[in-house]
Chains A and B, each alone.
Chain A
Amino acid sequence: MDAPASTAVLRQVVRQQWLVLLRERRLRILGALVLAMTAIALVAGAIDARRARDARVHDERVEAEVWDAQGAANPHGAAHFGRYVYKPVQALSVLDPGLQAHLGGALKLEGHVQNTSRFKRTDNGAALSRFGGFSPAFAMQVLVPLLIVFAAFGAFSGERARNLMWQEIGAGASPWQLLAGRFLAFAGALLGLLALAGTLAALLGISAWSGAYFAALALMLGAYALYWLAVLGIVLAITAMTGSARTALLAGLGFWVVSAMLAPMLAPMLAERRHPTPTATEFHARVVDEIMKGPDGHDPRDARFAAFQEATLKQYKVSRIEDLPINYSGLLFEYGEKTTADIYNRHFDRLYAVYDAQAAYSLKAGIVSPLMALRPLSSALAQSDLPGHRHFLAQAEAYRYDLVQRLNRDIKFNRKPEMRDYATDVAAVTRGVRFAPRPLTLAEVLPRTAAPFAWLLAWLAGAVALMRFAAWRLEGRA
């Protein structure tokens, strides 16, 4: 068949499939239902994000007031009293909340210690919490593939569809043209659904509009398009290879259960087994151990402090602490903070290296489920993933260190030996230290999305190859 004729057949198949799709009441209802659920989740997510932003502004203001209300206080006591910082809400997290509920929205900053973030949304739940909430990402990652299975399982299987297919083949259409035509028809409907969801998401994120926002949104929607088309290709290949509608439906559902439910749950668990995460107790015990015994375990803190004292006396060319021109305890606090911060940084680096290894391991499960590639990609672009959180934590730690060292330096320079209880206006001392976290730029996020994008492209290519194989089998039978 020459090219124009082939295109005409393809167009005819696409048109015919469109008609079938439009006539099928069940599909119209299902499509409308998924779209409505996505829209509701988007609106609810936007309202929630707005509420979270307002709460953050309020909490920041009250927290600053509490800090200022300390008045004249001992700076070291103030360092222990600590401050709270709050994580900003990212605009695209409305579309994909990612890990947000499990990350915690606030961090307590205090002297000597690097805390993990607090106030997770999953804290203090009940049995109901176990089922998780509903988000646009859930609808687009889990429900739309199910919709695809329901919509496309009967495209070639079942008595009526099979008969129609043989008639079409008898009329001159090749099996590949039929498969490609139905693929294009379904793809058109799916891309329309995606465009609607994307437009609504963009409208709800109007306050965040920028070039970077639209670029991230476009990439995210592109990733979803690849994912949906890959699932569609697989389901169409299954239906083309299966005569019975029941078998096609069960196989499609089986694929959905494995790829959308089991793999996303099992892969992170297996990754954790492969690269075990230390418990909080173990982690803190290791940190304390290193603080007390030194990095090599043979440099006890007392000895380090003695050496530091000796070096300080030597530096100032005095023989007694009392003769130092500065307050020695302030200096020691400063030195101790530097030491413990280095130790904490080292241990957190190790912990996050374990998390990274787990993420890389989980990504390998992309071989059984395209969702394993889509999830990290989508949440990376929404900045609701772990690296995005760590970026916030790193900025918070820089701020904490600066804040605590300012307080320590105040003791170092201003506390005189005759002062038994030293107190100063800690708010004034720390006024110059500000916390203004910036989100990751798209350029910083993009490298992380390369591998998942490659996986999704591979899935789409694999799905097309499977469709080709199914068409080849049908040609053999024809």
Chain B
Amino acid sequence: MNATAIIVRTELLRMARGRWLLPLWFAFLALCGYAAWEGAAWSAQRGAALAAIQDEEREVHRMRRDQIVNELTPDNKSRYGGAIYATAMSFRATLPQGELPVLTVGQAEGYPMAARIFPFVASNTIFDEYMAGMENPAVLAAGRFDLAFVLVWLMPLLVLAGSVDLWSFERERGMAPWLLAQPVSPLRYLAAKAAARALLLVGVPVLVLVAVLRFTAAAGPATLLQVAILSALYGLFWLGFAVLVNLFARNTAQAALGCVGGWLALVVLVPALALGVADLFAPPSSPAERANVLRAMALQARAEVRQADGASRAGRVPAPNIPDNLRKRAVEVERGEQLIRVAVQPFRARDQRRLYWMEALRASSPAIAFQDALERLAGADAGRALRFQDQAHAFLLDVRRLTQRYLEQDRLLTAADYDHGLPRFVHREAPPATRFGALAFDAGVMALFLLTLLALLAVGARRLRHQAFQPE
């Protein structure tokens, strides 16, 4: 057995004999289990809400079809405008949950999960109904206790607690000079010790995580593997950090101080600071200002169309199937859309700039990069939510085009239309390459932090040996 294997085995034995390892694993298991249970409950509630929204659309269509089949006669057409005029078509666009929603709530509560689409609705208001939830703001402010919280915030504490005395213990007991005098380089010695700790403090928790996910979510092996790799990378970073702190700390208390300080800096302070930087250099657009501008545009469109309409109030003879006032409304809506498109540009540009900054700033801490990766794996990331918004908006425009055809042909909706002729919204996911690219970026950030640590460790270990043989 070579020296490295002996060190690894000794370290494993030492850790296994310590009374703290098992409680630490059980604590992690309990936290993961509870978080997954909470995540599953949240996901079920979300799924039910989405199903209810889709049911609402189906129910409206069913009711209107029944009206056409059972109640409509040539004489009472005007009473059933909602069922027969294409201008009254009613749709819901919903953002389905991702593959692993139990992992994190992510940005799901900060973006609309559905859109209410009518041909004449102003495009800037289609998400309004689904923007505000009823969740207690106190719960939202406290943050969701999901798996991402356990992994991003608490797993580092587990790794740090288990490796806080990795070298400081030897130093405290006066064994450091003796160990450094052995024919094993300090770097190799530390690497072997770290490998043993990685096995028990990173490997086991990652296995626990995968088991919990396997039990609570219907994710494929590829997704689980991605979660495992990213979690292991993050855990290894914190282990590396603990080793680095150990190289400089004079005793365990100092090492603990350094570890907690580092955790506080990278998990709490740097993200808060990064958010401050984003606020400073790329503040969000003002939704209140945007609402006022768009309302003014709606009024302008109405005024323009009324002015153009002038005195043409006489009705056509014979009257068309679809009343002409709906055609006028269609013109107003179209003009409104043109004005909105222009007016919304500066706000969109500001929001895109902010998102760009927020995405770039995830490179400032492995914690942010890891959170981002988990959100992407859960399907609760901002990019997916924005893609849904774009697709819902495009669907609205499709519906308007369809409505326009019905208006031009003066065609009424029929039962057959309700059976299979109406469009349906289907959310299209981003291409796998795009998704994988974003995840690779997050993994790259974590790997870069880890590599930097390894470089510092190599320097630190050399310094350690140098110090050991310096006269006091």
Interface residues of A (CB under 8 A from B): 26, 37, 44, 55, 58-59, 62-63, 65-66, 69-71, 81, 84, 86, 98-99, 101-106, 108, 115-120, 122-134, 138, 142-143, 146, 150, 153-154, 158, 245-246, 249-250, 253, 257, 261, 264-269, 271-273, 277-285, 351, 354-355, 358-359, 362, 386, 389
Contact = CB atoms under 8 A, between A and B. Distances in A.
Contacts of B145: 265-266, 269
B337 interface: no
A279 B135 CA distance: 7
Contact of B381 (A71, A127, A146): A127
Interface in B267-313: 267-269, 271-276, 278-279, 284, 286-289, 291-292, 295-296, 299, 303
A355 B138 contact: yes
Interface in B380-395: 381-382
Contacts of B296: 62, 65-66, 69
B134 A268 contact: no
Contacts of A63: 292
B299 A265 contact: no
B11 interface: no
Given A66-B295, A118-B132, A123-B110, A253 B276 contact: no
Contacts of A359: 138
Q: How large is the interface on B (under 10, 10 to 19, 20 to 34, 35 or more residues)?
A: 35 or more
Contact of A269 (B38, B48, B272, B287): B38
A69 B358 contact: no
B351 A124 contact: yes
Given A130-B148, A269-B38, A281-B52, 19 more contacts: A44-B276, A55-B289, A98-B141, A120-B110, A126-B107, A126-B355, A128-B274, A128-B372, A129-B110, A132-B271, A133-B279, A146-B264, A257-B157, A266-B145, A271-B136, A272-B135, A279-B49, A280-B133, A389-B137
A99 B371 contact: no
A284 B114 CA distance: 15
Contacts of B269: 37, 134
B358 A59 contact: no
Contacts of B129: 284
Given A128-B361, A285-B52, A351-B134, A84 B291 contact: yes
**Lowest 9 CB-CB distances: which A-B pairs, in order?**
A131-B271, A127-B372, A134-B272, A126-B358, A102-B137, A119-B287, A116-B132, A268-B142, A59-B288
Nearest to B55: A281
Contact of A130 (B130, B131, B253, B371): B371
B107 A277 contact: no
B370 to A, nearest CB: 9
A134 B273 contact: yes
Given A69-B299, A133-B276, A269-B38, A127 B371 contact: yes
Nearest to B351: A124
Nearest to A62: B292
B271 A128 contact: yes
A123 B134 contact: no
B132 A268 contact: no
B296 to A, nearest CB: 5
B364 to A, nearest CB: 9
Contacts of B130: 280
A265 B53 CA distance: 30
B107 A125 contact: yes
Contacts of A250: 161, 256
B149 A118 contact: no
Interface in B146-162: 148-149, 153, 157, 161
A142 B143 CA distance: 15
A273 B44 CA distance: 14
A55 B286 contact: yes
A261 B252 contact: no
Nearest to A275: B136
B413 interface: no
Nearest to B41: A273
B260 interface: yes
B110 A124 contact: yes
B359 interface: yes
Given A116-B132, A268-B138, A285-B52, A154 B253 contact: yes
B375 interface: yes
Contacts of B273: 134
7 contacts: A119-B288, A122-B140, A123-B111, A142-B268, A146-B264, A265-B142, A272-B135
A282 B157 CA distance: 39
Contacts of A122: 109-110, 140
Contacts of B53: 281
Interface in B25-64: 38, 41, 45, 48-49, 52-53
Contacts of B132: 104, 115-118, 280
B362 interface: yes
Contacts of B288: 55, 59, 84, 86, 105-106, 119
B367 interface: yes
Task: Find the residue from A63, A284, A389 having the highest chain B CB count within 10 A.
Answer: A63
Nearest to A81: B295
A245 B172 CA distance: 12
A272 B133 contact: no
B49 A281 contact: yes
Contacts of A281: 49, 52-53
A320 to B, nearest CB: 21
Contacts of B433: none
Contacts of B289: 55, 58-59, 62
A409 to B, nearest CB: 23
B368 interface: yes
Nearest to A119: B287
Contacts of A268: 136, 138-139, 142
Contacts of A354: 136
Task: Find the residue from B133, B286, B287 having the highest chain A CB count within 10 A.
Answer: B287
B106 interface: yes
A124 B292 contact: no
A59 B299 CA distance: 17
Contacts of A101: 141
B136 A129 contact: no
Contacts of B381: 126-127
A127 B299 contact: no
B278 A128 contact: yes
Contact of B256 (A123, A246, A389): A246
B451 interface: no
A58 to B, nearest CB: 8
A70 B299 contact: yes
Nearest to A126: B358
B141 to A, nearest CB: 5
Nearest to B271: A131
Contact of A99 (B110, B137, B368): B137
A118 B288 CA distance: 9
Given A269-B38, A279-B49, A280-B132, A127 B107 contact: yes
B149 A265 contact: yes
A143 B264 CA distance: 9
B170 to A, nearest CB: 14
A129 B253 CA distance: 33
A18 to B, nearest CB: 22
A157 to B, nearest CB: 9
A351 B137 CA distance: 12
Contact of A123 (B135, B287, B358, B375): B287
B257 interface: yes
A124 B279 CA distance: 13
Task: Find the residue from A26, A99, A158 having the highest chain B CB count within 10 A.
Answer: A99
Given A59-B288, A279-B49, A129 B142 contact: no
Given A249-B256, A268-B139, A279-B134, A118 B287 contact: yes
Nearest to B34: A266
Contacts of B335: none
B133 A279 contact: yes
A446 B237 CA distance: 48
A202 to B, nearest CB: 23
Contacts of A154: 253
